[in-house]
């Protein structure tokens, strides 16, 4: 037995065939198993698209282009999804407007300002933010944060209520659970990913570029604008797009704090709805075309996030690879 085991690697096939052909069955089987596991990723992605589309055909076929109207009333079989698409766009936009400057600021702080021994604890803190589960953000958001924000919203609304541009955006009606609250919570949730990817991209800026800028007498800000930003601009855009994908797909926290009211309104402090939230909240009581409509909105969301992720990954990959090569 022991001699067999010892002989095994040396002459696996026990013959004088060329080395390249000496691959025992177990070796090839292992390769095929790993290939199958790798292909599983592609299989699952295709299956998601096929299975969910299949379950939602009755919505797409019965409503046609009416799926993009603002008429959602399951009781009378009206399933226009525009209010939810609008809500997804608004909440994601608010989240990005808040999260992007903060994330880029922290990424620059980590790469350009603080020394290494300080940057590690800061990274830990950012990671903690990512570990807090979505549902805990939602619980805190609806029971603690929203009631607190409502006071602030009310005073802002009474301050700007009749101003031309700000009035329609920040005036009455005001609710703690609203587009804006959902946007803020989303901002907390996408900050870790945007920060860590931006940091990764910024870290690939060659040290010689930084040192060159400093040697010319640049201040840190001038160095960032002249050496770091041109190099990492594209990659940071990719990181922001990935954050956008997260913001669009984040479900549970938003379902709890958005206010659950399908309305298209310019009032950011008013209750609204978005695609993932309506799927989460109404799926349980749905059937027939109603259910098909909810799954169909999932298909739209899937298609959109896949496209965003493909673009973003391509950008991030290209910019980090190019910099590593340089």
**Should residue 152 be labelled a site residue for another protein when binding is judged by CB under 8 A?**
no
Among 89, 97, 152, 310, binds another protein (CB under 8 A): 310
Q: Is 121 exposed, middle or buried (0-12, 13-18, 19+ CB in 10 A)?
A: exposed
**Should residue 106 be labelled a site residue for another protein when binding is judged by CB under 8 A?**
yes
Query: In terms of CB distance, is 189 or 268 closer to another protein?
Result: 189
Query: In terms of CB distance, is 23 or 158 closer to another protein?
Result: 23
Among 169, 234, 237, 280, binds another protein (CB under 8 A): 280
Among 82, 93, 129, 263, binds another protein (CB under 8 A): 129
Among 41, 65, 75, 165, binds another protein (CB under 8 A): 41
Query: What tokens does 64 get?
Result: 């046609």
Query: In terms of CB distance, is 164 or 217 closer to another protein?
Result: 217
**Should residue 325 be labelled a site residue for another protein when binding is judged by CB under 8 A?**
no
Query: In terms of CB distance, is 110 or 268 closer to another protein?
Result: 110
Among 14, 17, 51, 61, binds another protein (CB under 8 A): 51
Range 282-301, binding another protein (CB under 8 A): 283-284, 295, 298, 301
Q: Tell me the closest approach of the beta carbon of residue 317 to another protein, in angstroms.
A: 7
Range 234-263, binding another protein (CB under 8 A): 242, 245-246, 248-252, 255-256
Among 57, 73, 105, 208, binds another protein (CB under 8 A): 105
Among 126, 190, 197, 268, binds another protein (CB under 8 A): 126
Query: In terms of CB distance, is 126 or 205 closer to another protein?
Result: 126
Among 14, 17, 45, 322, binds another protein (CB under 8 A): 45
SS (H, E, C) the chain: CHHHHHHHHHCCCCCCCCHHHCCCHHHHHHHHHHHHHHHHHHHHHHHHHHHHHHHHHHHHHHHHHHHHCCCEEHHHCEECCHHHHHHHHHHHHHHHHHHHHHHHHHHHHHHHHCCHHHHHHHHHHHHHHHHCCHHHHHHHHHHHHHHHHHHHHHHHHHHHCCCCCHHHHHCCCCCCCCHHHHHHHHHHHHHHHHHHHHHHHHHCCCHHHHHHHHHCCCCHHHHHHHHHHHHHHHHHHHHHHHHHHHHHHCCHHHHHHCCCCCCCCCCCCCCCCCHHHHHHHHHHHCCHHHHHHHHHHHHHHHHHHHHHHHHHHHHHHHHHHHHHHC
Query: CB under 8 A: which stretch of 68-76, 160-168, 205-213, 217-225 binds another protein?
Result: 217-225
**Should residue 188 be labelled a site residue for another protein when binding is judged by CB under 8 A?**
yes
């Amino acid at each position: 037995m022991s001699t067999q085991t010892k002989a095994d690697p040396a002459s696996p096939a026990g013959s004088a065939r060329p080395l390249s052909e000496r691959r025992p069955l177990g070796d090839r089987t292992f390769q095929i198993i790993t290939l199958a596991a790798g292909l599983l990723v592609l299989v699952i992605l295709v299956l998601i698209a096929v299975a969910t589309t299949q379950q939602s055909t009755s919505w797409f076929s019965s409503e046609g282009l009416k799926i993009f109207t603002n008429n959602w009333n399951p009781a009378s079989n009206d399933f226009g999804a525009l209010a939810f698409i609008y809500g997804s766009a608004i909440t994601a936009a608010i989240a990005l407007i808040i999260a992007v400057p903060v994330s880029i600021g922290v990424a620059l702080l980590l790469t350009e300002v603080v020394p290494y021994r300080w940057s590690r604890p800061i990274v830990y803190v950012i990671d903690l933010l990512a570990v807090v589960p979505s549902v805990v953000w939602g619980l805190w958001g609806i029971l603690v944060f929203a009631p607190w924000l409502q006071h602030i919203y009310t005073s802002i609304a009474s301050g700007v209520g009749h101003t031309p541009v700000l009035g329609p955006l920040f005036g009455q009606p005001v609710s703690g659970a609203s587009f804006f609250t959902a946007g803020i919570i989303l901002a907390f949730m996408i900050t870790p990913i945007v920060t860590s990817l931006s940091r990764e991209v910024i870290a690939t800026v060659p040290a010689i570029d930084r040192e060159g800028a400093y040697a010319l007498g640049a201040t840190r800000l001038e160095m960032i604008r002249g050496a770091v930003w041109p190099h990492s601009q594209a990659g940071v855009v990719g990181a922001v797009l990935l954050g956008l994908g997260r913001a669009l797909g984040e479900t549970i926290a938003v379902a709890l704090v958005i206010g659950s009211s399908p309305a298209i309104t310019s009032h950011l402090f008013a209750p609204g709805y978005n695609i993932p939230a309506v799927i989460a909240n109404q799926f349980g009581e749905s059937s027939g075309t109603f259910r098909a409509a909810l799954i169909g909105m999932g298909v739209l969301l899937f298609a959109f996030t896949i496209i965003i992720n493909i673009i973003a990954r391509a950008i991030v990959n290209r910019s980090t690879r190019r910099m590593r090569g340089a």
